[in-house]
Amino acid sequence: MKILEQIIEKIGQEEVIQITLMNDFGVKVECLTFGATWQSFKVPDGANEKNIVLGHQLVSDYLIDPLCAGQSIGRVAGRIGGATFRLNNQSFTVEANEKGNCLHGGSKGFHKRNWHYRTNLSAEAASVTFLMSCKESDDLFPGDMDVCITYTLTNANQLDIVFEGNNASKLGLFNPTNHVYFNLSDRQDLTTHSLQVASDDYLETDGDLIPTGRFLDVSGRPHDFREKKALWPAVIANDGFDTAFRIRPDAHKNGLPIAVLRDEESNTQLSIFSDRNALVIYTMDDIPSNLFFERDRGQTALPREAIAMEAQTLPDAINHAEFGDITILPNEKKTYRLSLIHI
C-alpha cells in the first residue's frame, strides 16, 4: 500500500492537493481536495492500466463542468423542489440554482469547496479523509455542521467511501453522495456494458425532474434491471436516464449489491454496496461541447459515454416524509457508507 501527495494547481490563493491511494495489486484511486473529488480509478489492464471513471486532469476544468464528475455532493444531493422546505414548523429557503429548485446543495455545495485532509496508511489499506465545516451563512442550509468524507482503498480491490456529518448546531439536513461516472471499457460509449439494479420501482418526476411522490413499477419498461441485461438498448429505448431507483430492502438486509455494472467485452465488473434507499442513474445525455476527461486521451467528451450511479436517500425527501429521513439532530453523528468492489 502507498499514498502519494502533490500540489497540482491553485484556485485563487488556495493550493489543490492530489492524493493517490495505491494498493499492492496495481489499483490506484486519485482524489482532489477541491470538491473532495474522486478524480480517477485506475485498474490493471494487461500490461497497462485503464481509468474506469470520468475525471479531469486540470482542476480548472471542474470549475466549468456542470456534470460534477466524481465530486462530493451536499449538503443535500439531487433537487429540492422550489428550493424550500419546512423543518421544526419553520420554513426555509435555500439557493434556487436550477429552474427555481435547489440542485446538489447550490453553488456553495460540497463540490465547490477546497477541503482540508488527512491520510492513514496500513499494511492492508490506504485512506484519505476530507474535512470541512459548513456554515449556514455560506450555503443557507439550517445550522452549522462538520463533515468528513473518507476514501479507503484496500488490497481486496475494494473502495469504501464514508460520509459523516456531526456537530450540527441545530436541526439540519444531510443527504450526501458522490457524483461518480463509470465507463468500464476502453470505448467512449456504453455499448458493451450490462447492468443489474436491486430495484422494483422508480420515482416519477415532473418536467423539471422534481418527484411527484409516485413510484412506477419497472415491469415492462426500459427501467427493468432486476436481472442483468444489456445497458445500451435500454438507454436508447428510454432516450437516456436521469432516474431515482428505489432500492429493495432485501439488498440491504442480505448484504447484496444494490447494483452490478459490467463491461462484457473486457469482463471488468463493479459491484456497488450501499446503505442508502435510492440509486440515481444518469446517462449524461445532454452535455457541453467543451469538456475533456482524462480517460478520453484528448478526445472531446461525448453524450452517454458514461453512467452516473449516485447512492443517496431518495431526492426531495425533505418534502416527502415517506422517502426517508435526511435530518441531522444537534450534535448527532450521522454516517453513510458506499463500497465498490472491482473484479
DSSP per position, 48-110? EEEE-B---SSHHHHTT-TT-TT-EE-SB-SEEGGGEEEETTEEEE----BTTBEETT-TTSG
Decide if 80 contacts 316 (C-beta within 8 A).
yes
Q: What percent of the chain has pLDDT over 70?
A: 100
Q: Is the pTM of this model over 0.85?
A: yes
Decide if 304 contacts 241 (C-beta within 8 A).
no
Query: How much is the mean pLDDT over the chain?
Result: 96
Domain boundaries, the chain: 2-187+284-342
Does 310 qualify as catalytic in the annotation?
Answer: yes
In the predicted structure, residue 343 carries a pLDDT above the cut 90 = no
In the predicted structure, residue 289 carries a pLDDT above the cut 90 = no
pLDDT in tens, 177-224: 999 999 999 999 999 999 999 999 999 999 999 999 999 999 999 999
- Catalytic-labelled residue, pool 30, 95, 164, 310: 310
pLDDT in tens, 49-102: 999 999 999 999 999 999 999 999 999 999 999 999 999 999 999 999 999 999
From CA 282, how far away is CA 125, in angstroms rounded? 31
Find, among 159, 152, 63, the residue nearest to 114 by Cα.
63
What is the per-residue pLDDT for 242? 98
pLDDT in tens, 239-264: 999 999 999 999 998 999 999 999 99
The CATH class, in words, for 2-187+284-342 is mainly beta
In the predicted structure, residue 290 carries a pLDDT above the cut 90 = no
What is the per-residue pLDDT for 47? 84
In the predicted structure, residue 331 carries a pLDDT above the cut 90 = no
- Catalytic-labelled residue, pool 104, 111, 179, 193: 179
pLDDT in tens, 94-116: 999 999 999 999 999 999 999 99
DSSP element (H, E) containing 139: helix 136-139
Does 342 qualify as catalytic in the annotation?
Answer: no
In the predicted structure, residue 297 carries a pLDDT above the cut 90 = no
What is the per-residue pLDDT for 151? 98
